[in-house]
Amino acid sequence: MLAAAVIVFRESLEAALVIGIVAAATRPISGRIWWIALGAFAGIVGSIGVAEVAQSIAQLAGGYGQELFSAVVLALAVAMLAWHNVWMASHGRQMAAQARELGCSVVRGEAALTAIATAVALTVLREGSETVLFLGGIASSAGSTRFALAAGGALGLVAGAAAGVLIYAGLLRVPVRQLFGVTGWLILLLAAGMAGQCARVLIQADLLPALVSPLWDTSKWMPDNSAVGTLLHALMGYQAQPSGTQVLFYLAALVLIFVAMRRAQSRSAQSPSAA
Amino acid sequence: MTAQVLIRKLLPVLLVAACAPALADDPEFTLQLREHRFTPSEVKVPAGAKVRLVIDNQDGTVEEFDSFALNREKLVFPNSKGTVFIGPLKPGRYEFMGEFNQSTAKGVVVAE
């Protein structure tokens, strides 16, 4: 039962944290809850669909369909999060000012919300389809352990969701003046982590060289399956034994998105009238 | 901006993918999965070389080959095979497991 709880918890944690963070990041945008909920719903429906055809996907591309599918989903999620951050960089100051004056949910931002909803859907889809397959396996298994496993799975899901609620509640305590700076950094790290994961699946399918494997080994003092390691993995793509290429992708995404954010910010500062 | 970011991110991938050498030459090792146990449970591979690791799932249930140490995660469907590339590895022991049956499906890759 505990093993089932841990598996489902690990799979749902990243999606829950992404949802919690983007919900806080888009706080002053009206209608954001509906967009995020729509993204999550689409992700869940998509997960069931993907789980259904997972075996066919796996057989594509000479047996590396799974990896290519994951890589595309991850790359799109990175692009969506990057887009959101760039949008926020050019609108953040105005949003913070309006949020202070008028309270929440006042700014129009359909473009940012579309990006956010898509990123949420993709994140849920990626981890969700594995969870569906795991739980589906349990449902089809016979015996008395079936209910214990199902209960464990439910427990893991609740724990994952709780982590998302927790980070959202924590971010709401950050003063609005600093909130978008904090969420911008969190989303930047999420995106970099996903870029590293994208490299990982492409290396696994031999579409990219690993270069050095592992580049470093911190598994002695912070193992991947420890509580802190798990949290840091979900939040910022921590891995105890990453390959060189993964680290390159991570850093490249970090720098590229950061530079794009800076450029958008300075452009909006030069022409404050452009909303 | 999105298109730019996308192109910047994808272009290097495609270039490297296009230059990737043919798959056939890498040494291959097979792990059989039966009744949620790996045979062999310890597999020796050459250090410093890229290796194909084939997981032959002979069980009637889906399994996820999973290794934190190797950075690998792959679903292997009932009565089918899945291949992951590992390495080039530094000499050492790299544990793996079947995530869906962790109590029995355990093993280690030894690079030397």
* Residue-range domains of chain B with CATH: 22-111 (2.60.40.420)
Extract the tokens encoding B32.
């059989």
pLDDT band at A140 (very low <50, low <70, confident <90, very high): confident
Minimal-distance CA residue of chain B relative to A249 = B9
Confidence at residue A136, expressed as pLDDT on a 0 to 100 scale:
83
DSSP characters over B38-97: EESSEEEE-TTS-EEEEEEE-SSS-EEEEETTTTEEEEE-TTEEEEEEE-PBPSEEEEEE
pLDDT at B11: 61
Q: Tell me the domains of chain A and their CATH numbers.
A: 2-270 (1.20.1250)
Whether the pLDDT of residue A192 is over 70: the answer is yes
Q: Give B-chain residues touching A67 at CB under 8 angstroms.
A: 74
Q: If you average pLDDT over residues A163-174, what whole number do you get?
A: 96
State the pTM of this model: 0.89
Q: Which amino acid is located at A166 in the chain?
A: L
Distance from the B34 Cα atom to the nearest Cα atom in chain A, whole angstroms: 16
Q: Label residue A146 by pLDDT band (50, 70, 90).
A: confident
Name the DSSP letter for residue A71.
H
Q: Is the Cα torsion angle B5, A68, B52, A236 positive or negative in sign?
A: positive
**Cross-chain residue pair B20–A206, CB shorter than 8 Å:** yes
Please name the residue of chain A whose CA is at the shortest distance from the CA of residue B60: A137
For chains A and B, CB pairs below 8 A equal: 116
Out of B62, B64, B69, the one facing A219 most closely (by C-beta) is B69
**Alpha-carbon dihedral sign for residues A21, A24, A25, A29:** positive
Residues on chain A touching B64 (C-beta within 8 angstroms): 130, 134
Q: pLDDT (tens digit, 9 = 90+) per residue, A212-236?
A: 889 999 999 999 999 999 999 999 9
With CA atoms as reference, report the closest residue to A139 among A59, A48, A70, A58. A48
Look up residue B101 and give its two tokens.
Answer: 């049956």
Overall size of chain A counted in residues:
275
Minimal Cβ distance to A203: which of B61, B82, B85: B85
Which pair of tokens denotes residue B110? 């030894």
B63-90 confidence digits (pLDDT tens): 999 999 999 999 999 999 999 999 899 9
Q: Is pLDDT above 50 for A274? A: no
Which residues of chain B, if any, have pLDDT below 70? 1-24
